[in-house]
Amino acid sequence: MAVKIYHGDILFTPAADRMEIHENSYIIVEDGVVSQICEKIPETYNGVEIVDYGDKLIIPAFSDLHVHGAQYVQRGIGMDCLLSDWLNHYTFPQESRFQSMEYAKNCYDAFVDEMILHGTFHANVFATIHRDATNYLFDKMEEKGMYGYVGKVNMDCNSPEFLIETTEESLNETEKYLAAHEGSKKIKTILAPRFAPTCSEKLITGLGKLAEKYHCGVHTHLVESIWEAQEALKLFPGYGSDAEIYERAGLMDHGPSIFAHVIFPSEEDKRIMKKHGSISVHCPDATVNIIAGIMPLQQMASENLKIAIGSDLAGGHGLAIYRQVARAVQLSKLKEFYEPNESKTITITQAFYHATKEAGSVFGKVGSFETGYAFNALVIDNMEDPWTKITAQEKLERFCYTGDDRNIRARYIDGELLK
Amino acid sequence: MAVKIYHGDILFTPAADRMEIHENSYIIVEDGVVSQICEKIPETYNGVEIVDYGDKLIIPAFSDLHVHGAQYVQRGIGMDCLLSDWLNHYTFPQESRFQSMEYAKNCYDAFVDEMILHGTFHANVFATIHRDATNYLFDKMEEKGMYGYVGKVNMDCNSPEFLIETTEESLNETEKYLAAHEGSKKIKTILAPRFAPTCSEKLITGLGKLAEKYHCGVHTHLVESIWEAQEALKLFPGYGSDAEIYERAGLMDHGPSIFAHVIFPSEEDKRIMKKHGSISVHCPDATVNIIAGIMPLQQMASENLKIAIGSDLAGGHGLAIYRQVARAVQLSKLKEFYEPNESKTITITQAFYHATKEAGSVFGKVGSFETGYAFNALVIDNMEDPWTKITAQEKLERFCYTGDDRNIRARYIDGELLK
């Protein structure tokens, strides 16, 4: 058994209201999995090499539960547009270029490298409708050792002619994609209907059958704006909620159901999500850039709905999930200021929990340092001015608000140091 | 006469609704001042050395019109606190440490270096009540070639016993500070009563006399929260508005009047500010962190009130003004979403204008590249992916949303390249 020991200030959040802080401690990792944390190394580990990170922070790596890999090249531009202009002038033409494998490779290589640079080792990614390019992204994330879900996008109506499939094409291409990756380990396929307004009922029903056959979950946008919520119900008459569209098709029975934004959930949406253990993904910067409102995060969490954090590149403009942790705290303050009866302010501890342990739960045991969790970890450096002391938790808070990739001194996946 | 010519994609905002973009052009600088921009160099400049920045951006340097230099060491921590806890547990104890010159030097050295690193060459800075430390900050900014205003803070009531002056002390120390810097050039003194709730009427009146004697402007917080606006009028009975407190004392007659936040201006506040050409400073991240609401920026600008951008470190958590430009666009969207009758969404062009030309107007001719403006400039690099083209304006937008100091390839003040 391969044993390694790391020394530093170890922080993680076993619960939304609890940051565990082990200053000047050791974390013992056996075969890439956390065995224990201690202030003094037990005698049984005598002779094991210790990697000493001094008073640097050792924290769990981040999960990004909603990100459009293909929108990487449009990050931080077109932000003056309203949603429809942004989709028609930037996003749709941009996604259509993924017919070209050369273009796709350039984009996905840079995208995956930048996720890892920012300490995101677990990601749930929307690709595009193009199967070949989606396969490339899948393989790239696998090659890098990431944990993830990758979805080939489906859209068979209300879409531009240069970015649309027939229902049959969409189902056939999706099945080929799922079949090609059966039995994959850390990277898995997921179904990714863009959202109800661009998917016919026949397509959604067909995807439900594929979910059963290939044991797949679903990743889509849910009640992400007032427009989307209304449009979904108009296009799916006889359905009582946006979530019911996916539930009735059987898309929530065979794997994780991951819903982006969830800004205006009805009681029925919440009931269905709770029943299926779905996870809602808060994407703070995107929600402001594409101005849809603010998720009632604290309220939903208090009702035991699962919450994760996402970058939603390129509605969001950056891939750093630690920055979205800070932004989630900020937006919760604005939410309470403007809608005090809807949701309350959250703490940095809660935001960090959603971005690590709770988000990580869809990938297995990642996002925490409790015994049995993968040692997927970041070492954080240089968060303190040399002439004044701050606490370990303050260093973590400062990293989320002001740090960048230069402060990530080392990266570990399954106990292996990334070079 | 020293002439230099720079080639690149030159961008600046002569007006709030106009971004001038000169791609593949030359900017001719004579004795540190912009002479002209042209696509072909006039013959009269034959033989002058050309610095070729290719298709990199050349943009005006930024101005930060509201920043607490002494709060540098608390950036990005304590953000879970409410305002009163934040002041009492972080800010006030922290500011009291500026009695120690060693502490002050460490902090102000790092603070000034980091402003310059982020391309802020013009700043209006709150120091603390301590005269020696404030002198050090003044000298440091002068030594670095910055343009600026530096204020020794005044507070003689409703303040903790470890951070308070008597009225007499406060006025005496301030006069000594002003006298020591009479005739200074690029860095100037400014009066800095903290805000109405911590200043007696006698103090404010005394500062008004110093303003007249030493030809100083004023820098303070104005209607920054509902609490502050109400408290000011309670403590100054007989005054009709927060702005009147400073106007009646004669503090707005002898130099720029610079007011931070201005989130809840009354009609009377606006009338007084317009009469005196005052400038209101929008500090987006601070306004969210310390949750006070959102300035009605677009509405105020449409009423011809002057607007600048500020970092408000450490209510704000970072010194990069370019990031606050992006944040100003974001917050204007939230403002319109929640208060559609109060203010509308602004563009990146307008936000950039407030952070460069309009903010720069309090320092002289800085913040634009029109003829006669100082060549205080940044060269911005690496905002484009190698496999896909974006426009010069999109590069600037991406820099504001996602760039960092690594993208600032060169920095010029008065035509001199900073080493």
The answer to whether the CB of A374 falls within 8 A of the CB of A84 is no
Label the pairing between strands B408-413 and B416-417.
antiparallel
Phi, psi of A354, rounded to the nearest 5 degrees? -65, -35
**Nearest-CA distance B402 → chain A (Å):** 6
Report in angstroms the alpha-carbon separations of B243 from A9, A324, B220, B229, B258: 49, 37, 10, 10, 11
Task: Tell me which H or E stretch contains B66.
Answer: strand B62-68
Closest CB to A291 among B285, B337, B402: B337
Token pair recorded at residue A7: 């020394």
Instruction: Please report residues of B whose CB lies closer than 8 A to that of A337.
Output: 291, 293
Instruction: Please report residues of B whose CB lies closer than 8 A to that of A293.
Output: 337
User: What residue has token string 């890098």?
Assistant: A144
Q: What fold does the segment set B3-61+367-417 form as a domain?
A: Urease, subunit C; domain 1 (2.30.40)
Give the pLDDT score at A292: 78
The answer to whether the CB of B392 falls within 8 A of the CB of B23 is yes
Closest CB to A80 among B73, B76, B348: B348
> In a structure prediction context, what are the per-residue pLDDT tens digits for chain B, which is 419 residues long?
899 999 999 999 999 999 999 999 999 999 999 999 999 999 999 999 999 999 999 999 999 999 999 999 999 999 999 888 899 999 999 999 999 999 999 999 999 999 999 999 999 999 999 999 999 999 999 999 999 999 999 999 999 999 999 999 999 999 999 999 999 999 999 999 999 999 999 999 999 999 999 999 999 999 998 888 999 999 999 999 999 999 999 999 999 999 999 999 999 999 999 999 999 999 999 999 988 799 999 999 999 999 999 999 999 999 999 999 999 999 999 999 999 999 999 999 999 999 999 999 999 999 999 999 999 999 999 999 999 999 999 999 999 999 999 999 999 999 999 99
- Closest by CA to A259, choosing from A274, A249, A248, is A274
Closest CB to B318 among A110, A317, A402: A402
**Nearest-CA distance B398 → chain A (Å):** 4
Strand partners, A260: A221, A281
Q: How many Cα atoms within 13 Å fall on the side-chain side of residue B339?
A: 16
Q: Determine the Cα–Cα distance for residues B284 and B293; give it in Å rounded to an integer.
A: 10
Token pair recorded at residue B118: 């982020």
Phi, psi of A355, rounded to the nearest 5 degrees? -85, -10
- Closest by CA to B401, choosing from B409, B393, B412, is B393
Instruction: Please report residues of B whose CB lies closer than 8 A to that of A390.
Output: 77
Token pair recorded at residue B60: 């005006």
Cβ distance of B79 and A326 shorter than 8 Å: yes
Q: Determine the Cα–Cα distance for residues B298 and B104; give it in Å rounded to an integer.
A: 38
Cβ distance of B397 and A76 shorter than 8 Å: yes
Q: What is the dihedral of CA B256, B262, B267, B268, to 10 degrees?
A: -50
Judged by a CB distance cut-off of 8 A, whether residue B382 touches chain A is no
Closest CB to A79 among B77, B78, B329: B329
Token pair recorded at residue A205: 């029903």
Residue A44: which residues within 8 A CB-CB, separation 6 or more? none
| E strands present in B96-235 | 120-126, 147-154, 187-193, 218-222
- Closest by CA to A249, choosing from A188, A189, A201, is A201
**Nearest-CA distance B40 → chain A (Å):** 30
Q: Determine the Cα–Cα distance for residues B8 and B27; give it in Å rounded to an integer.
A: 8
User: CB burial class (10 A; 0-12, 13-18, 19+) of residue A164?
Assistant: middle
Closest CB to B330 among A288, A385, A401: A288
User: CB burial class (10 A; 0-12, 13-18, 19+) of residue A216?
Assistant: buried
Burial pattern B122-133, b for ≥16 Cβ within 10 A else e, equals bbbbbbbbbbeb
Q: Report the phi/psi class of residue A51: left, alpha or beta, with left for phi > 0 and alpha for psi in -120 to 50.
A: beta
Judged by a CB distance cut-off of 8 A, whether residue B93 touches chain A is no
Q: What is the CB neighbour count within 10 angstroms for residue A96?
A: 18
Label the pairing between strands B33-38 and B18-30.
antiparallel
Closest-CA residue of A relative to B80 is: A347
Burial pattern A300-320, b for ≥16 Cβ within 10 A else e, equals bbeeebbbbbbbbbbbbbbbb
The tens digit of pLDDT for each residue in A289-324 reads 988 799 999 999 999 999 999 999 999 999 999 999
- Give the DSSP letter of residue B313: B
Instruction: Please report residues of B whose CB lies closer than 8 A to that of A331.
Output: 288
Instruction: Please report residues of B whose CB lies closer than 8 A to that of A398.
Output: 75-77, 317
Closest-CA residue of B relative to A103 is: B387
Cβ distance of A329 and B106 shorter than 8 Å: no
Which one of A101, A322, A331, A333 would you mutate to disrupt binding with B, by most B Cβ within 10 Å of its Cβ?
Answer: A333
Closest CB to A348 among B73, B80, B107: B80
Q: What is the dihedral of CA B395, B361, B185, B58, to 10 degrees?
A: 20
Judged by a CB distance cut-off of 8 A, whether residue B401 touches chain A is yes
Judged by a CB distance cut-off of 8 A, whether residue B337 touches chain A is yes
Instruction: Say yes or no: do domains A3-60+367-417 and A62-360 share a fold.
Output: no
Judged by a CB distance cut-off of 8 A, whether residue B17 touches chain A is no
Judged by a CB distance cut-off of 8 A, whether residue A101 touches chain B is no
Token pair recorded at residue A140: 């790239």
Q: Determine the Cα–Cα distance for residues B165 and B188; give it in Å rounded to an integer.
A: 23
Strand partners, A124: A149
Phi, psi of B118, rounded to the nearest 5 degrees? -90, 10
Which one of B324, B330, B344, B346 would you mutate to disrupt binding with A, by most A Cβ within 10 Å of its Cβ?
Answer: B330
Rounded CA Rg of chain A: 21
Token pair recorded at residue A29: 């990792």
Q: Say which CATH superfamily domain A3-60+367-417 falls into.
A: Urease, subunit C, domain 1 (2.30.40.10)
The tens digit of pLDDT for each residue in A9-57 reads 999 999 999 999 999 999 999 999 999 999 999 999 999 999 999 999 9
Judged by a CB distance cut-off of 8 A, whether residue A293 touches chain B is yes
Closest CB to A397 among B77, B385, B388: B77
Token pair recorded at residue A294: 């603010």
Instruction: Please report residues of A whose CB lies closer than 8 A to that of B336.
Output: 291
Cβ distance of A387 and B329 shorter than 8 Å: no
Residue B139: which residues within 8 A CB-CB, separation 6 or more? none
Domain regions of chain A by residue span: 3-60+367-417, 62-360
**Nearest-CA distance A85 → chain B (Å):** 15
Domain A62-360 is in which class?
A: alpha beta
Estimate to the nearest angstrom the gap between the alpha carbon of B218 and the chain centroid. Answer: 13
Label the pairing between strands B218-222 and B33-38.
unpaired
Give the pLDDT score at B60: 98
Angle of CA points A91, A307, A197, to nearest 5°:
35
Closest CB to B289 among A107, A317, A330: A330
- Closest by CA to A312, choosing from A350, A260, A234, is A260
Closest-CA residue of A relative to B291 is: A333
Cβ distance of A397 and B79 shorter than 8 Å: yes
B131-143 helix and B167-180 helix, angle to the nearest 10 degrees:
20
Instruction: Please report residues of A whose CB lies closer than 8 A to that of B264.
Output: none
**Nearest-CA distance B394 → chain A (Å):** 6
Judged by a CB distance cut-off of 8 A, whether residue B384 touches chain A is no
Judged by a CB distance cut-off of 8 A, whether residue A417 touches chain B is no
Which one of A83, A330, A404 would you mutate to disrupt binding with B, by most B Cβ within 10 Å of its Cβ?
Answer: A330
Cβ distance of A80 and B387 shorter than 8 Å: no
The answer to whether the CB of B212 falls within 8 A of the CB of B254 is yes
Q: What is the CB neighbour count within 10 angstroms for residue A148?
A: 26
Q: Would you place residue A84 in the very low, low, confident or very high pLDDT band (cuts 50, 70, 90)?
A: confident
Phi, psi of A82, rounded to the nearest 5 degrees? -80, 165
Q: What is the mean pLDDT of residues A117-121?
A: 98
Instruction: Please report residues of B whose CB lies closer than 8 A to that of A400.
Output: 76
The tens digit of pLDDT for each residue in A261-276 reads 999 999 999 999 999 9
**Nearest-CA distance B47 → chain A (Å):** 39
Q: Determine the Cα–Cα distance for residues B416 and B419; give it in Å rounded to an integer.
A: 9
State the alpha helices, DSSP H only, in B343-415.
348-353, 359-360, 392-402
Q: Determine the Cα–Cα distance for residues B57 and B393; give it in Å rounded to an integer.
A: 9
Give the pLDDT score at B291: 80
3-state SS class at B134: helix
**Nearest-CA distance A397 → chain B (Å):** 6
User: CB burial class (10 A; 0-12, 13-18, 19+) of residue B263?
Assistant: buried
Judged by a CB distance cut-off of 8 A, whether residue A340 touches chain B is no
Label the pairing between strands A279-282 and A306-309.
parallel
The answer to whether the CB of A153 falls within 8 A of the CB of A191 is no
Closest-CA residue of B relative to A107 is: B387
DSSP line for A125-180: EE--S-HHHHHHHHHHHHHTT-EEEEEEEE--SSS-TTS---HHHHHHHHHHHHHH
Token pair recorded at residue A261: 């934004």
Closest-CA residue of A relative to B105 is: A387
Q: Determine the Cα–Cα distance for residues A289 and A287; give it in Å rounded to an integer.
A: 6
Closest-CA residue of B relative to A286 is: B330
Closest-CA residue of B relative to A351 is: B80
The tens digit of pLDDT for each residue in A163-195 reads 999 999 999 999 999 999 999 999 999 999 999
Token pair recorded at residue A183: 């039995």
Judged by a CB distance cut-off of 8 A, whether residue B404 touches chain A is yes
Phi, psi of A19, rounded to the nearest 5 degrees? -100, 115
Judged by a CB distance cut-off of 8 A, whether residue B89 touches chain A is no
Instruction: Please report residues of A whose CB lies closer than 8 A to that of B347.
Output: 80
The tens digit of pLDDT for each residue in B42-74 reads 999 999 999 999 999 999 999 999 999 999 999
Cβ distance of A398 and B285 shorter than 8 Å: no
